[in-house]
Chains A and B, each alone.
Chain A
Amino acid sequence: MIEVDELVKHYRATDGSVVRAVDGVSLAVRPGEMVGLLGANGAGKTTTLRVLATLLRPTSGTARVAGCDVRTDPIGVRRNLGYVSATTGVPDRLTPREILLSFGRLHGLERDGLKARVERLVDVLDLGSCADRPTGRLSSGQRQRVSVGRALVHDPPALVLDEPTNALDVVGSRDLLAFLSTLRADGRSILLSTHRLHEIEHRCDRFVIVHGGRIVAEGTRRDLVGEAGELEDAFFLAVQAAAGTAP
């Protein structure tokens, strides 16, 4: 379960001014649910996800993962959350198997159980053919699958993904999103941000549209789009209305 309540995050810019990156966002992702967080660049998506991942501290409001508060129990949050970013950040010189083992050890997992877990991930993520090749020689899709494996190595009940399909081609994106659907079916809570609305239009259970650090629309695809039309149209309408430029 992921819960965000009246989350506010301000930064101090280099010129001394205060940037309100997130300004009162509230959302919840239940177990077995996949929610899409949509917004233009600078809307506050990444900041929201990074507060959930304990990379940034909230200015006010609360954010919880599996009941653990990011402010009072960041270690609990980290135990229960898998985080995937657009930049895979996988070390070029290590192999997928070595990366999964190393990050499993960062979670303090026991050696034998960890090995079995890594082999299972290599199998599930279809990394068998490249598991012992340095990741610098892998394709973007394979690197992103390693990144997803790294986020799943401790078997977290919640997943946060920040533009995970950015560097992927159509096939890679489709495979990744299909895999995320299986994780949702396992009962995990999944919150993902993306700019590629058409990819997740029929995959997510609900959508949250943010603009200027605030939620401007939310609901199921049907709530936002109606019977006809596309999510992209609903997104533009919501953002333009919030910006005061609605047609």
Chain B
Amino acid sequence: MATTAADALESHDTHEHHGPEKGLKRWLFTTNHKDIGTLYLVFSLVMFFIGGSMALIIRSELMHPGLQFVHPEFFNSMTTMHALIMVFGAVMPAFVGLANWMIPMMIGAPDMALPRMNNWSFWILPVAFGILLSTLFMPGGAPASGWTMYPPLVLQTGDAFPFLIFSVHLMGLSSIMGAINIIVTVLNMRAPDMWLLKMPMFVWTWLITAYLLIAVMPVLAGAVTMLLTDQFFGTSFFLAAGGGDPVMFQHIFWFFGHPEVYIMILPAFGVVSEIIPTFSRKPLFGHDSMVYAASSIAFLSFIVWAHHMFTVGMPLSGQLFFMFATMLIAVPTGVKVFNWVATMWRGAMTFETPMLFSLAFVFLFTIGGFSGLMLAIAPADIQYHDSYFVVAHFHYVLVPGSIFAIFAAAYYWLPKWTGYMYNETAGKWHFWLSTIFVNLTFFPMHFLGLAGMPRRIPDYSTQFADFNFMASVGALGFGLSQLIFVYILLTAKRGEKATDRVWEAPRGLEWTVPSPAPYHTFTTPPKARIAQESFE
């Protein structure tokens, strides 16, 4: 039977007050939400660098026309592994890590509701990615079909195929367990006067994200299970020769894949909605409308999947439905951008590193949103499809979108985690170099795509050489800039002591506990409303 936080507290009360265990055992067996949050964040940083190294291999190969360093098959493996690692190993675990650290503190709970399951959710991940990375050394090489794993191409994977399927199942299991924990925690562990609509936006966006995860990760698991049975058990779900339908896989995959995009961006919206009010010294404009906008985005994400598949052929009515439904997402997204700008309007703004990353998020994510609108137009998409324009679009959403929000969150809450202020000068260098290089990397890809350069190719025509060179220089610069972040983390405890409130005008229960946050917080529920009012 699952162990709940109530059990943990009960056993906790019968012992003397204690801190963390010593050594490796602390990290292997921990059920503490802060420890598990740290594990997730460190894991995602490691994966960010592994996936980033793969991106640099891709960009090195594409720096000049012609084949330079790697075989085309290995190039395909790199694009596939880069995507899988960045999506499931870097971005998602980083947000789960932030959720683990912050949600219990933000809602006044002593821990996550199911602490042992929380430990399992994390420790499944290194196993999953160990398996996935081991495929690089297998006969036939690592998977090379793209992260979309379309059949029949994916069925040509060598020995790596069952390992790919198993690792995807494990990643899904970990995500579902994490999502269940977040929903159960938010619904059952809030401080008595923390009403749902009073919850911080980060908690709200994560609650909505968790529902999305529960609905769509099993769909991905189902799709890859069917791939597995097609390959090894003689079924023909997706094999045309046996009466199956390869396009059905695309429908199922994108039923998962599109909400997955929002799984990676909704928590980023939450982070930015916490940071902008703090550094504008104003409450968030339109808190409730932000909640409704996030919920609308989540709902719409379920009915737009086929905009990824306009070129497979579908009835005109289908094209029109998916085109207009996709465009509709711009409305709640616009509400969010409007509210962030309105929060800043006439605010006493200052520009510390978390705020800089959040501002860049608002500008650059919006660029990704606009190119998404262009791709939503069915007749235009037929031109853009599978071109570098698509690569530019989703990298604008995910790098200066999700990843910048993760950096913003790390800088924002780091003093609360460590008890010390980070190196602000180094933080600003990190921000400016990242912002310059991220644009140098991905903006030229728009032009490449519009000029007709296809994605997922190791060689290209010479007319694309200049923009590719710029993108490769930008990628190298962006990769090196991230070493500043590592330096900041390694020297995080060398700064001046952080106060409990850390910033001048933060809101929320997490700022009522000491810095660094004690190992156990809110063992008795706080008065959420009184704490909140004391800030205002």
Same complex for A and B? Answer no
Chain B positions within 8 Å of A, measured between CB atoms, are none
Chain A positions within 8 Å of B, measured between CB atoms, are none
